[in-house]
Amino acid sequence: MRKRFTSLHTASTRAMQATTCVFALMLAALICACSTPGRDEGAVSAGPPDRGVATAPVRYALPPMGWNSWNAFSCNIDEKKILAVADAMASNGMAQAGYRYVTVDDCWVGGRDPKTGKLYADAHAFPGGIAALANYVHSKGLKFGLYTSGNVSTCAGMSTDRHPPSWPQGANGGSLGHERIDAQTFADWGVDYLKLDLCGGKLSTFAAMRAGIAASGRPMYLSINPYSYNRTLRTRFADDGTFYAPAYADTSRISQDITESFASVESIVDIAAADAAWAVPGYFNDLDMLEVGHAFSADQDVAHFIMWAVMASPLNAGNDVRTQRDATRALLTNPGIIAVNQDALALPAVLDQTDSMGALQVWTRPLVQSGTRAVAFINRGAAPVQATVRFASVGLDAPHHAWDLLTGSPLPVADGSVSVTVPATGARLIRLDGRDPVAATGPLAAQRWIWSVTRAGSAANDPDSEVGVKVWPAAAPQPLLPAGAKRADAIVAGGVAYRDGMAVSVPTQIVYRLGRQCSSFQSDIGLDRRSPPTSRAAFQVWADNVLLYDSGPLSAATPPKTVRVDISGRDTLRLVVTPRSGGDARDRAAWADPSVVCTSGSVGAP
């Protein structure tokens, strides 16, 4: 089994330059020294700090939890069922566990008023109207969600062969061309969550609906699905080149509809692995509504729920919560699994290890508490297997403790590792507690990060994805690299060669633990020489999921920019490079001469 996280050795002492560069900030004074003549291997980060573009707080910090009507009822919905669902969720422990949204999916539309242009509900199924329904849901301490489409009709309205003629058709009930008036109507009705299916419409509807929601003045979670009735849009965003979901949505579906088969669950997990690098703070990849409690075995239900949780997907129950089995309710409200999904660091898991047959997989993600990891084992084979994870393989030093999050029980730790039995087509979720590597004053290229992800989820699975590390001076002992990372022979940003840093594919994210002991981060940024002339990418610096810097889109011709930000009191540093369109598999960027100033230790200090 391969290891993704391996300790990075500290680089050897960095040579000091005879001529000192003067900066007002302590950061510049510590990191911007040039090398001794004859040993300089490139530029250093030394420019005036770039102001970047205006930043804004994230709209929603955590993936949503709720219930959606489609998987349980399809088009066979009405007011009475939704009222009963709200009653059940408020009383059966689901609301207390975090499930907040009650969402009415397709088939509620009665039509559009030709005089006012406003949508109205089907009077037979929803005689009280949507506003009254939303008010009732709110009275239960819950939030209300509603469906619309990005075409002239809803998806059901385009598929009249799927259901009896007596069911609402949704013909002429889509929002395409009516996004602003519909957003205002939804706001007036008290909608808190909007599910927007493309339904074969135009991608421009997503931006138009986002603008409409903003104009309405009502906070409304926007969940989009670009794949409904669009079989040509690739589910790996970077391969399409036309659509960048995080610019418009709070969450986006990444696949065609889930079905009641475990093979469907497995296929969506594979897509989620490839798309993990797109999940920037405030945006979540949606693995689709849950099929827990429908046609799966008990072990498959557990595996399904664990993988959705560990990938930081929205958790939208899709079963009939009015009549669910106790075992289903207990799983959906499991506090340990939900705690991972709702962890404040909000990082999706990455595929860390896999066996030679590809049946047993180990997925890991750091949690907000320093020194913790969530580890999911999923067994896609036909027989139970024994699975082992070493603390060192996920970058945790002693002391070591482990917990089974499904049962809440402690697990034995032996020789720095934990072993569990994973049932066939099942999963286990555990939490590892240890001690994290913490950044120290000096260059970041030589230091251990706690999490990284590339455009295909793992560079080992895609030759076009990488994190290339170069440490200065070249004669120094080179650090051991995480699986998927490579040694870079050059760091080039905006046409300028630098002495150290990280050369990355686009998108890529890297997270360091700061331990609230660091005050400043600095780096030069730019696209590197291998990027096509048409490349566009943005650099972002996040600390504890607060956006501190956004470069805006840079091209291959943009000269290097210097980023310098205050990270005082922060626990995590997140370096993000992301395209502002669909992107190109050949896009490359560089964090050039990245460094931090901290109160703890030093890396590369004289």
Whether residue 427 contacts residue 296, with contact meaning beta carbons closer than 8 Å, is answered with no
DSSP strands (E only) in 251-291: 251-253, 284-286
Short-list 90, 91, 98, 107, CA closest to 66: 98
As given in the structure block, the two tokens for residue 307 are 């993988």
Q: Does 257 participate in catalysis according to the annotation?
A: yes
From 106, 122, 197, 343, active-site residue: 197
For the residues of 140-174, what is the DSSP string, one character each?
Answer: TT-EEEEEEESSSS-TGGG-GGGS-TTS---TT--
**How far apart are the C-alpha atoms of 254 and 272, rounded to whole Å?**
7
**How far apart are the C-alpha atoms of 273 and 232, rounded to whole Å?**
20
From 257, 270, 397, 566, active-site residue: 257
Amino acid letter for position 182: D
Amino acid letter for position 545: N
Omega of the bond prior to 399 within 30 degrees of 0, cis? yes
DSSP 8-state secondary structure symbol assigned to residue 105: -
Q: How far from 513 is each of 89, 406, 432, CA to CA, in Å?
A: 38, 27, 16
Short-list 370, 349, 507, CA closest to 5: 349
* Torsion on CA atoms 340, 341, 346, 350, rounded to nearest 10: 80
Does residue 444 come out as left (phi exceeding 0), alpha (psi in the -120 to 50 range) or beta? alpha
Residues marked active site are found at: 197, 257
